[in-house]
Amino acid sequence: MSKGHTIPLLHFARLLLRRNFSVTLFTTTANRPFIADSLSGTAASIVTLPFTVSTTNNDIPPGIESTDKLPSMSLFFEFAMATASIQPHFEQALETLPRVSFMVTDGFLWWTLQSANKFHIPRLVFFGMSCYSVSVFREAEMQGIFRGPQPDDELVELTRFPWIKICKEDLEPSSRNAEPGSIPYEFNVKSVGASVNSYGTVVNSFYELEPLFVDYLKTTNTSHKYWCVGPLCLADDVGSFSGTKEPKWMTWLHQKKKFSVLYVAFGSQAEVSNEELEEIAMGLEESMVSFLWVIRKKDWVLPKGFEERVEGRGMAVREWVDQREILNDERVGGYVSHCGWNSVVESVCGGVPMVAWPMMAEQHVNARMVEEELKVGIRMETCDGKVRGSVKREGVSKCVKELMEGERGIQLRQNVKVLARLARMAVQEGGSSWSALDHLIHELCRKK
Ligand SMILES: O=c1ccn([C@@H]2O[C@H](COP(=O)(O)OP(=O)(O)O[C@H]3O[C@H](CO)[C@@H](O)[C@H](O)[C@H]3O)[C@@H](O)[C@H]2O)c(=O)[nH]1
Which pLDDT band holds residue 245 (cuts at 50, 70, 90)? confident
From 202, 323, 324, 337, the mutation candidate for ligand 1 (largest count of ligand atoms within 8 A of CB) is 323
**Ligand 1 atom nearest to 241, measured from its CA:** 35
**Which residues does residue 337 pair with via DSSP β-bridges, in sequence order?**
265, 356
Query: What confidence category does residue 447 fall into, taking pLDDT thresholds of 50, 70 and 90?
Result: low
Q: Are residues 21 and 147 in the same domain?
A: yes
> Is the same domain home to 189 and 281?
no
Q: Is residue 146 part of a domain?
A: yes
Is the pLDDT assigned to residue 238 strictly greater than 80? no
**Contact predicate 52/62, CB 8 Å:** yes
Tens-digit pLDDT profile for residues 374-429:
999 999 999 999 999 999 999 999 999 999 999 999 999 999 999 999 999 999 99
Domain of 100?
3-228
Same domain, 220 and 252: no
**What is the mean pLDDT of the segment spanning 192-212?**
97
Which residue has its alpha carbon closest to ligand 1 atom 11? 340
Q: What is the pLDDT of residue 57?
A: 59
* pLDDT tens, residue by residue, 310-359: 999 999 999 999 999 999 999 999 999 999 999 999 999 999 999 999 99
Q: What's the gap in Å between 391 CA and the centre of ligand 1?
A: 21
Task: Specify whether 194 is located in the same domain as 299.
Answer: no
According to the model, what pLDDT value does residue 244 have? 66
Are both 88 and 206 inside the same structural domain?
yes
Would you place residue 241 in the very low, low, confident or very high pLDDT band (cuts 50, 70, 90)? Answer: very low
Whether 446 is covered by a domain: the verdict is: no
Residues 317 and 386 in one domain: yes
346 Cβ inside 6 Å of ligand 1: yes
- Statement to judge: residues 149 and 96 lie in one domain: yes
| Cβ neighbours of residue 24 closer than 8 Å, sequence gap 6 or more | 44, 45, 46, 47, 97
| Cβ partners under 8 Å of residue 253, min gap 6 | 261, 292, 326, 329, 331, 332
| Dist CA 394 CA 398 (whole Å) | 6
**Residues 157 and 301 placed together within one structural domain of the fold:** no
Answer whether residue 241 is part of any domain: no
pLDDT confidence of residue 397? 98
pLDDT of residue 175: 86
Same domain, 273 and 219: no
Residue 155 has pLDDT above 50, yes or no: yes
- Ligand 1 centroid to Cα of residue 350, in Å, is 15
Q: How far is the CA of 233 from the centre of ligand 1 (A)?
A: 12
> pLDDT averaged over the chain?
95
- Give the pLDDT confidence score for residue 49 in this predicted structure: 97
Residues 205 and 268 in one domain: no
Residue 374 lies in a domain: yes
Instruction: Kindly report the protein residue whose alpha carbon is nearest to atom 28 of ligand 1.
Output: 340
Question: What confidence tens digit (pLDDT) does each residue in 66-89 have?
Answer: 999 999 999 999 999 999 999 999
441 occurs within a structural domain:
no
Q: What is the mean pLDDT of residues 156-183?
A: 94
Q: At residue 336, what is the residue type?
A: V
Give CA–CA dist 311/99, Å, rounded: 58
Angstrom distance (rounded) from CA 410 to CA 415: 9
Write the secondary structure of the chain as one string of H (helix), E (strand) and C (coil). CCHHHHHHHHHHHHHHHHCCCCCEEEEEHHHHHHHHHHCCCCCCEEEEECCCCCCCCCCCCCCCCCHHHCCCHHHHHHHHHHHHHHHHHHHHHHHHCCCCCCEEEECCCCCHHHHHHHCCCCEEEECCCCHHHHHHHHHHHHHCHHHCCCCCCCCEECCCCCCCEECHHHCCHHHHCCCCCCHHHHHHHHHHHHHHCCCEEEECCCHHHCHHHHHHHHHHCCCCEEEECCCHHHHCCCCCCCCCCCCHHHHHHCCCCCCCEEEEECCCCCCCCHHHHHHHHHHHHHHCCEEEEECCCCCCCCCCCHHHHCCCCEEEECCCCCHHHHHCCCCEEEEEECCCHHHHHHHHHHCCCEEECCCCCCHHHHHHHHHHHCCCEEECCCCCCCCCCCCCHHHHHHHHHHHHHCHHHHHHHHHHHHHHHHHHHHHCCCCHHHHHHHHHHHHHHHHC
Residue 433 counted as domain residue: no
Q: Is residue 342 lining ligand 1, measured as CB closer than 6 Å?
A: yes
For residue 343, give the ligand 1 atom closest to its CA.
12
Residue 176 clears pLDDT 90, i.e. is over it: no
Q: How many domains does the chain have?
A: 2
Res 236: pLDDT: 79
* Rg, Å, the chain Cα set: 22
Asked if residue 337 belongs to a domain, the reply is: yes
184 and 270 share a domain?
A: no
Q: pLDDT of 20-52, one tens digit each?
A: 999 999 999 999 999 999 999 999 999 999 998
Whether ligand 1 lies within 6 angstroms of the CB of 334 is answered as: no
Which of 228, 259, 288 finishes a domain? Answer: 228
Tens-place pLDDT, residues 86-100: 999 999 999 999 999
Q: 320 CB less than 6 Å from ligand 1? A: yes
20 and 86 in a single domain? The answer is yes
Cα 340 to ligand 1 centre (Å): 5
Residue closest to 173 by CA, chosen among 165, 164, 184: 184
Query: Does this complex have an ipTM over 0.85?
Result: yes
* Residue 252 CA, ligand 1 centroid: distance in Å: 23
Query: CATH number, domain at 382?
Result: 3.40.50.2000
Residue 438 placed within a domain: no
